Amino acid sequence: MRSEMDVYVPRTLDEALQQKSAHPDAISLAGGTDVMVEINFGRLRPAGIIDLTRIPELREWRREDSHLFLGAGVTYSRIVRELADFVPLVQASRSVGSPQIRNRGTVGGNLGTASPAGDALPVLAAYDAEVVLQNRRGTRSLPWHTFLQGPKKTAMAPDELIRGTRWQVVNGPGSFSKIGTRNAMVIAVAGLCLQVDQDARQVRVALGSVGPTILRAPEAERFIAERLTWDDPGAPVTDEVVAEFAELVGRAAKPIDDVRGTARYRVHGCTVLAGRALRWALEERKAFKWL
Amino acid sequence: MAKTQADELAVVGKSLPKPDAMGKVSGQARFADDLMLPRMLFARILRSPLPHARIRQVDASRARAMPGVQAVLTGEDLPIKYGILPVSQDEEALCSEKVRYVGDPVAAVAATDEWIADAALEAIDVSFEALPSVMSIDEALAQPGEPIHPRGNVHKAVALEFGDTEEGLRSADHTREDVVFFEGNTHLPMEQHAAVAQYGQDGKLTVWSSTQTPHYVHRALGKVLELPMSRIRVIATPNGGGFGGKSDIFAHEIVAAKLAMVTGRPVKITLTREEVFYAHRGRHPVLMKVRTGFRRDGRITAMQFQSFLDGGGYGSYGVASTYYTGALQTATYAIPRYRFEGVRLFTNKPPCGPKRGHGTPQPRFALEVHLDKVADELGLDPVAIRRRNLVQPNSQTVNWLRITSCGLEACMDRVVADSRFLERRTAMPSGRGLGFAVSSYLSGAGTAIYWNDMPHSEVQVKVDRGGGVSVLCGAIDIGQGSDHILAAIVAEVLGVSLQDIQLTTADTDLTPIDLGSYSSRVTFMVGNAAIAAAQRVRQRLAEAAARMLHCESDELSFRGGQVGRRDHPGEAISFAQTVQAAEAGEGLISASGSYTPPKLAGPYKGSGVGPSPAYSFSAAVVEVECDPRTGEVRVPEVWIAHDIGRAINPVLVEGQVEGSVYMALGEALMEEQTFRIGVHKFPSMLEYKSPTTLEMPVVHTSLVESLDPEGPFGAKEAGQGPLLPVIPAIANAVYNALGVRIDEIPITPEKVLRALAQPSRRVGPKGVPRFAFPSPIQAARPPEWEGK
Ligand SMILES: Cc1cc2nc3c(=O)[nH]c(=O)nc-3n(C[C@H](O)[C@H](O)[C@H](O)COP(=O)(O)OP(=O)(O)OC[C@H]3O[C@@H](n4cnc5c(N)ncnc54)[C@H](O)[C@@H]3O)c2cc1C
């Protein structure tokens, strides 16, 4: 049924926050690449829409000391163009949908949808990012895993907006990779981000599309942190160690069968992606001075 | 010889832009959904949410009462059944008793806008009584509950035998049996189906539709609406892709027409992308068993082929599809004894029908994979075993197909040489492989869909005093380039430029009949009709010019907009002056030409499917790169050669060949129309995976010109044939790369991994279900096969 719907077009963040608190049942709209699909298929009938695309504050990113702050409204296309230093984030952004989707879609929208298949999310998890929320009274920051509560469920209150996400800039190689039927327009069957944090002496691994929400692989992370010679990037790592690490990552996955793939194939996919991502990182670690 | 003749031609044989190209890329082409008429209403269709159910009651009173709703139709408003084939009149525009698949139309609404129409659909209360559903070939044969149609779930079972195949198998040195499966997939045209209908105060109905077969739509509208055909006008709008998916009669076309009649206002209906997956009529899932006997040297002694087609909820083209799964095996290989048994089953899925290659890609996959396996067993290479059995030009197959021009061997030689197949296939780096396959396809079905003796294609040419040439023909350009073929042929014969040609096509009021853009028939049949029409006009113009130039009419040449004496280059008058002289003498100059294919069907029942005035041939080598850890298969390079007879416009032929490679790649590696609990798994372009440009390999296309004696300027088909060899070549390449046999299309990463983990190194069906085929019709063999 077509029903009348209010569309708010705030020009400033303040205006948006006011509207969100006055109309908590209105839905925020960034690129609309998730929202419009839901509306067009009749699965979503919001009382109103708050269009966030005209708010300059949401479209910025900046370095804050040793952190990076990424505004919720920065599109994937801009990330690819402007944030080349953040290799896994760029790789994930480049793998989203098609050029049209990347021109519209935002990381804030990816967080808002909170799909386990959101490609930016494993990267934020591997960065140990926090999500910055704001309402009329102020802001709060939640660790990514507190923000993401389950499939399509977040800790965001009805009067809040996602301001952006922030993480400590990591020193070390990393990558994002995914398995899907084709090279574009593909929702991942399995996605993985691996980030080496040379300073914290950690290897962080996050998985997408293989559980109700984004998963980290703590056992695998502990295992590999103990096996690496942190002061000597040239020290060899045996195939057995890589294989065991990959195996442990696979065990962290909790997938289900669905139309895109079977649970078995997804676990297997995580194992393959993990082994490859670790190999790439170790190679890169040798080639550059991260120390 | 092809070369010198081509040099004399001015338009034919040249790579030129299509006349409709600029309109399409600039957005000026008017597709059905672009049409806007004053006071137009918008219609939507309510579709069944259940795969199999009886309709107890449809209550539309709430919907009718809604403001903006102008009409609601239910099954009782359109009680007359129809279907594309005269033998399968089993569809209702809106179901009245039963629904047979999720998406089957139940009711329709016309309203002042689409949102109101959508809302009204929700206000229609349908009470269903759910019935057990049948979702596979096995289930259909097991017949658990009420059959889908009264006569049972077996739609059609056929059996034909040419020569004693049991004897042929007994006398073989080697026999092999294979069972393979080809999952169904859909056309995925860019443009969704759309139709606009208008019913005038004069009692005349006009329907604009994105259809490949305006003539058949015309007939069906007449039947279902009980209107004389003389009061119906069907105009086919440019098709944004058809691939066979717009060659049926669709419920939305009939519904739009009926709503226009009921409301007296124009009505538009455009299917959503989701509905296009339900309209379907795409590739049948087919389970096949092939058993062949060979001599030690690789020559075939006999073949037995069985196919089980999963037809979906209705007949559609299914009877033809069934025969097609057995018809063309003999068109590439000289098979002396041949038995074909086919059965099509009803299931509770969207009806299957013709998709590019109609019924032949599945058996071609079975056959070409089977031959590779036999070659291995006999110690032959894949090229050698095919050479032993190649069909010869100017021969007749055991099932009475008349082969005339045949460039199959030239196609093979070309791709084998260019890819260095024989040298490289035994020395590929790990994970890489090369595969080879060949195929054949018809240049137009030799028989019409309904039995009649009239021409299949007719063209009218009319010239005007300004030098313009009007060409009228029922053919519809679905992107394949039929507009160009029409214009190019007439321009060639009359010696004018393409820009002088005005086309009027696919309008049943204005244009003479063409049966439609299906079965790769248009270039061959429309082309011949166009030549005939243009030559008649030319003859009359030549007579007028001869009087002016004081010479005989056969001394004249028509070229470059001039009519002149061939041997006296200075003596010429312009084409326009010629027209004026002729018109002054005898009035309007116009003529028509027709094409009726020769009667080629063999002397047995079921011989109507397969015969064609000419066959195209293709050969392909595909290179794959497989990842044994993930099971992913990539295709970096394809070599493909196609016997086109003559390329009237080479760039168009190359486009068809490359498009076929693209479509084959999708079918081979990812596309599948599959269901869960009766519901289509992914009726969207995001989740129904077909390749993107990023997956497109480098394609080396070679055109082989065999100059067909009956084709227009020697031309044959290009639209469907080149798809056929690519799918089995991919399967054969995967075997070459990894040593695994994926006897089941699509070849997904999961199947590759499963095969790698299995001792048999194979994934595929284990057998065919028990089914009692009728005892085969024992057909005589053509004389040349007797005693073989
Ligand atoms: C064809 C297609 C292909 C796709 N492919 C991919 C893919 O490959 N990978 C992938 O990860 N995703 C994919 N998506 C999904 C989608 O593009 C992404 O999830 C994208 O990040 C959504 O961003 P958006 O700005 O368009 O969000 P919107 O649709 O505008 O919003 C999404 C959700 O986030 C909320 N929201 C947005 N911004 C804010 C904010 N600032 N504050 C509070 N809430 C907010 C909205 O209320 C809504 O609930 C695809 C979508 C389509 C249609």
- Paired strand residues for A176: A193
**B694 in reach of chain A (CB within 8 A):** yes
Residue A212: CATH number of its domain: 3.30.390.50
pLDDT, chain A, mean? 95
**Domain-located, residue A135:** yes
CB distance B749–A265 less than 8 Å? yes
Comparing CA positions, the residue from B452, B386, B475, B489 lying closest to residue B719 is B475
In this predicted structure, what is the pLDDT of residue A148? 98
Closest chain B C-alpha to A272 CA, distance in angstroms: 7
Last residue of a domain, one of A168, A187, A212: A168
Do A77 and A102 sit in the same domain of this protein? Answer: yes
Q: Where are the beta strands (DSSP E) in B103-203?
A: 105-111, 125-130, 154-162, 174-182, 194-199
Is there a cis peptide before residue B746, judged by omega within 30 degrees of 0? yes
When pLDDT is cut at 50, 70 and 90, the band that residue B719 belongs to is: very high
CA pair distance B443, B648, nearest whole angstrom: 14
Q: Residue B3: is its pLDDT beyond 50?
A: no
CATH of B159-186+282-446+602-779, one of 3.40.50.9100, 1.10.287.110, 3.40.50.720, 3.30.365.10: 3.30.365.10
Task: Provide the 8-state DSSP code for A142.
Answer: E
In this structure, what CATH number is given to the domain that contains residue A17?
Answer: 3.30.43.10
CB B618 within 8 A of CB B721: yes
- Kindly determine whether residue A187 and residue B122, on different chains, have CB atoms separated by under 8 Å: no
**Between chains, do A186 and B689 touch, taking CB under 8 Å as contact?**
yes
Distance (Å, rounded) from C-alpha B459 to C-alpha B536? Answer: 11
| DSSP state letter for A69 | E
Residue A28 has pLDDT above 60, yes or no: yes
* Gyration radius of chain A's alpha carbons: 19
Confidence of residue A2 (pLDDT cuts 50, 70, 90): low
A161 and A91 together in one domain:
yes
Q: How many CB atoms lie within 10 A of CB B474?
A: 27
Given B118, B630, B692, which is nearest A185 (Cβ)?
B692
CA B705, CA B614: separation in Å to the nearest integer?
A: 13
**B616-632 per-position pLDDT tens digit:** 999 999 999 999 999 99
What is the C-alpha separation between B595 and B486, in angstroms, rounded? Answer: 14
Report residue A75 as tokens.
Answer: 């599109």
Output the pLDDT for position A261.
87
Which positions in chain B touch A181 (Cβ < 8 Å)? 670, 689, 748
Decide if A1 is inside a domain: no
Kindly list the residues from chain A whose CB atom is less than 8 angstroms away from the CB atom of residue B69.
Answer: none
- Which residue in chain B has the smallest CA separation from A188? B687
Task: Supply the residue whose CA is at minimum distance from atom 8 of ligand 1.
Answer: A96
**List of residues 6+ apart from B358 with CB closer than 8 A:** B244, B317, B320, B321, B324, B518, B519, B720
Judgement on whether residues A142 and A89 belong to the same structural domain of the protein:
yes
Q: Same domain for A69 and A140?
A: yes
Whether the CB of A44 is below 8 Å from some CB of chain B: the reply is: no
User: B316 Cβ partners below 8 Å, 6+ apart?
Assistant: B83, B84, B85, B88, B248, B281, B351, B352, B353
CB atoms within 10 A of CB B554: 9
User: Would an 8 Å CB–CB cutoff place B63 in contact with chain A?
Assistant: no
Q: Give ∠ CA B628-B631-B637 in degrees, rounded to 5.
A: 90
Q: For residue range B320-373, list pLDDT tens digits in order.
A: 999 999 999 999 999 999 999 999 999 999 999 999 999 999 999 999 999 999
Inter-chain Cβ pairs, chain A and chain B, closer than 8 A: 47
Asked if the Cβ–Cβ distance from B689 to A268 is below 8 Å, we say no
Rg over alpha carbons for chain B, rounded to the nearest Å, is 27
Calculate mean pLDDT across residues A100-129.
98
Mean pLDDT score, A263-274:
96
CA distance B311 to chain A (A): 22
Q: Of A122, A141, A168, which residue is a domain's last?
A: A168
Quick one: CA torsion of B310, B316, B320, B324, rounded to 10 degrees?
A: -40
Among B116, B670, B681, beta carbon nearest to A181:
B670
Pairing of strands B432-442, A67-71: unpaired
Boundary residue ending a domain (A106, A133, A168): A168
Do A187 and B689 count as a contact with CB atoms less than 8 A apart?
no
Mean pLDDT value across chain B:
96
A182 Cβ under 8 Å from any chain B Cβ: yes
Q: Of A182, A186, A266, which to mutate for an interface test with B (greatest number of B Cβ within 10 Å)? A: A182
Share of chain A above pLDDT 70, in %: 98
What confidence tens digit (pLDDT) does each residue in B200-216 have?
A: 999 999 999 999 999 99
Please give the single-letter amino acid code of residue B145. Answer: G
pLDDT interval class at B143 (50, 70, 90): confident
Min Cα separation A261/chain B (Å): 8
Q: Does A223 touch chain B (CB under 8 A)?
A: no
Task: For residue B741, give every residue at least 6 positions away whose Cβ sits within 8 Å of its Cβ, in sequence order, or none.
Answer: B369, B373, B731, B735, B755, B761, B762, B763, B764
Fill in the DSSP letter of residue B20: T
Does residue B145 register a pLDDT over 60? yes
- Chain B closest-CA separation from residue A167 CA (Å): 32
pTM given for the model: 0.96
What's the rounded Cα separation, in Å, for the pair B443 and B715?
A: 9
Does B628 contact A at CB distance below 8 Å? no
How sure is the predictor about A258, in pLDDT bands with cuts at 50, 70 and 90? Answer: confident
My answer on whether A228 and A271 are in the same domain is yes
Instruction: Please tell me the CATH superfamily of domain B32-131+192-238+246-279, with its number.
Output: Aldehyde oxidase/xanthine dehydrogenase, a/b hammerhead (3.90.1170.50)
Residue A224 in domain: yes
Ligand 1: residues with CB < 6 A are A 27-35, 37, 52, 58, 72, 96-97, 101, 104-106, 108-110, 112-113, 118-119, 161-162, 185, 187; B 686
In 3-state terms chain B splits into helix, strand, coil percentages (rounded to 5) of: 30, 25, 40
Its domain, for residue A18, covers 6-51
Task: Give the position, in ligand 1's atom list, of the atom nearest the Cα of A33.
Answer: 26
Task: List, for residues A80-91, the tens digit of each pLDDT value.
Answer: 999 999 999 999
Whether chain B has a CB inside 8 Å of the CB on A2: the answer is yes
Instruction: Please report whether residue A97 resides in a domain.
Output: yes
The verdict on residue A72 lying in a domain is: yes
**Which residues of chain B have a CB within 8 Å of the CB of A187?**
686-687
Q: In B445-584, at which residue ranges do the beta strands (DSSP E only) sit? A: 457-463, 469-473, 501-505, 556-559, 562-565, 568-574
Domain boundaries, given as residue ranges, for chain B: 2-28+454-595, 32-131+192-238+246-279, 159-186+282-446+602-779
The verdict on A45 and A66 lying in the same domain is no
With a cut of 70, say whether residue A247 has pLDDT above it: yes
Cα–ligand 1 centroid distance for A153 (angstroms): 14
Q: Rounded to the nearest whole angstrom, what is the distance from the C-alpha of residue A104 to the centroid of ligand 1?
A: 9
CB contact B677 to A (< 8 Å): no
DSSP state letters, B274-341: HHHHHH---BPPEEEEEEEEE-TTS-EEEEEEEEEEE--SS-TTHHHHHHHHHHSGGGTB--SSEEEE
d(CA A259, CA B592): 55
For residue A288, pLDDT over 80 is answered with no
Q: Show which of residues 634-673 on chain B sit within 8 Å of chain A, judged by CB atoms.
A: 670
Residue B757 touches chain A, beta carbons under 8 Å: no
Please determine whether the domains at B2-28+454-595 and B32-131+192-238+246-279 fall in the same fold group of CATH.
Answer: no
Question: What integer is the mean pLDDT of A39-65?
Answer: 94
pLDDT the model gives residue A142: 98
Binary contact (B682, A261; C-beta < 8 A): no
Select the residue of B122, B681, B686 nearest A185 (Cβ to Cβ). B686
Question: Judging by beta carbons within 10 Å of its beta carbon (0-12, 13-18, 19+), is residue B68 exposed, middle or buried?
Answer: middle
- Give the tens place of pLDDT for each residue, A138-174: 999 999 999 999 999 999 999 999 999 999 999 999 9
Nearest CA in chain B to A190: B630
* Measured distance CA(A252)–CA(A271) in Å, rounded: 10
Residue A290 has pLDDT above 70, yes or no: no
In a domain, A226, yes or no: yes
CA A107/CA A120 separation, integer angstroms: 6
HEC per residue, B349-395:
CCCCCCCCCCCCHHHHHHHHHHHHHHHHHHCCCHHHHHHHHECCCCE
Residues of A with Cβ-Cβ distance to B695 under 8 angstroms: 182-183
Helical segments of B113-171, H only:
114-122, 137-142, 165-170
How many independent structural domains does chain A possess? 3
Residue A289 confidence class, pLDDT cut points 50, 70, 90: low
What is the rounded CA–CA span in Å between residue B456 and residue B458?
Answer: 7
pLDDT, residue A153, reads 96
Task: Say whether residue A122 is in contact with chain B using an 8 A CB cutoff.
Answer: no
For residue A38, what are the CA distances in angstroms to A6, A35, A45, A152?
Answer: 17, 5, 8, 13
> What confidence score (pLDDT) does residue B1 get?
34
Predicted confidence band at B6 (pLDDT cuts at 50, 70, 90)? very low
Name B640's Cβ contacts closer than 8 Å, sequence gap at least 6. B415, B618, B619, B620, B621, B657, B661, B699, B700, B701, B702, B722, B725, B726
pLDDT at B253 over 80: yes
CB B391 within 8 A of CB B379: no
- pLDDT band per the 50, 70, 90 thresholds, residue B788: confident
Say if domain B2-28+454-595 classifies as CATH 3.30.365.10: yes
CATH for A122: 3.30.465.10
